[in-house]
Amino acid sequence: MKVVALALLTGFIVGFIFAVFRLPIPAPPALAGITGIVGIYLGFKVYEWILPMIQDLLK
């Protein structure tokens, strides 16, 4: 939970700094960005789930 809070705080600070300097936000549009992040996370988790099965087949 601490890591999640630190990530949220860091993102907030970066977003605030970008707004202060009137820079474009360094992220894709909201829904597309969130969907992409979820997709990356799910792909990583599926790989972790499938890897032991593949390693067992190769033995």
pTM of the model: 0.56
Cα–Cα dist 24/53, whole Å: 44
For the record, the structure tokens of 12 come out as: 């907030």
pLDDT at 27: 73
Residues 26, 22: Cα–Cα separation, whole Å: 12
| Of 19, 20, 37, the residue nearest 28 (C-alpha) | 37
Task: State how far the Cα of 9 lies from the Cα of 57, in Å rounded to an integer.
Answer: 43
Q: Please report, in tens digits, the pLDDT of each residue of the chain (59 residues total).
A: 899 999 989 989 998 999 999 998 877 777 888 888 899 999 999 999 999 999 999 88
